[in-house]
A = this chain, B = another copy of it.
């Protein structure tokens, strides 16, 4: 089975209503978790191959942006999708509450430092999108101010694209009930308690505001050069499958060419 996962892409210039995207969707595998897991394993092997080729070629770059509500699965995707991939050449940058030096400069300053170099995959766990999400929901700057950022972001990502970076943006979409279960687990399960942050409850209370902020941010910044995907997030196995399919397809599209072989080693037999 090989489904077209581009249906999860948010087409540029269209509106987005998250209510129309079912977080429990498993349609591509009709709920067949075992078949999906097999497919996921294959995709993981393919991702390993492609990442090594990208690194060997040293000419192109991939940037993956991960956004979600708390407990939305960003860490899970990182662990599952990139499992076994050579960490040399894959860099994860995690953007938390901005530090004083970060707040003293424009909001793109801190993320720009972490763009991938030639041959690298960079994965941003949260990103510059926080500056049109949390900043908006908590009113941290005037509306006219954060609204200008949609254009900044589109222009910034277009520049990265023009200069050789492929960009894929994944919104891991969980339902509010699913979030309750996951946060409850962080309270109940001693092994998960380190993830607990009482601030998450305050964010959860603003769920609808966040959904509105995500809808507009995603719709305004999904472009041909840097598309957003809304990934159904309630079923981990399906979320990992969809994310893997999208990332493998992005790498397959790069036309990676290994460097030419040194003719001197043609048929060479070492003594």
Contact = CB atoms under 8 A, between A and B. Distances in A.
A180 interface: no
Contacts of A156: 155-156, 159
Nearest to A106: B163
Interface stretch (A79-87, A112-120, A262-270): A112-120
A165 B106 CA distance: 8
Interface string A81-110: 000000000000000000001001111110
Contacts of A119: 104
Contact of A104 (B113, B118, B145): B118
Contacts of A152: 155, 158-159, 162
Nearest to A58: B104
Oligomeric state, in number of copies?
2
A226 B116 CA distance: 28
A13 interface: no
Contacts of A149: 162
A106 B115 contact: yes
A159 B117 contact: no
Among A106, A151, A164, the most chain B Cβ lie within 10 Å of the Cβ of A106
Size class of A's contact patch? Answer: 20 to 34
Interface in A46-101: 61, 101
Contacts of A118: 104-105
Given A108-B159, A148-B162, A155-B152, A101 B113 contact: no
Contacts of A101: 117
Contact of A159 (B104, B106, B113, B115): B106
A135 to B, nearest CB: 12
Contact of A117 (B104, B145, B151): B104
A160 interface: yes
Interface of A: 61, 101, 104-109, 112-113, 115-119, 145, 148-149, 151-152, 155-156, 158-160, 162-165
20 contacts: A61-B105, A104-B119, A105-B118, A106-B159, A106-B160, A106-B163, A106-B165, A107-B163, A108-B112, A108-B159, A109-B113, A109-B115, A112-B112, A112-B113, A145-B162, A151-B155, A152-B159, A155-B155, A155-B159, A156-B156
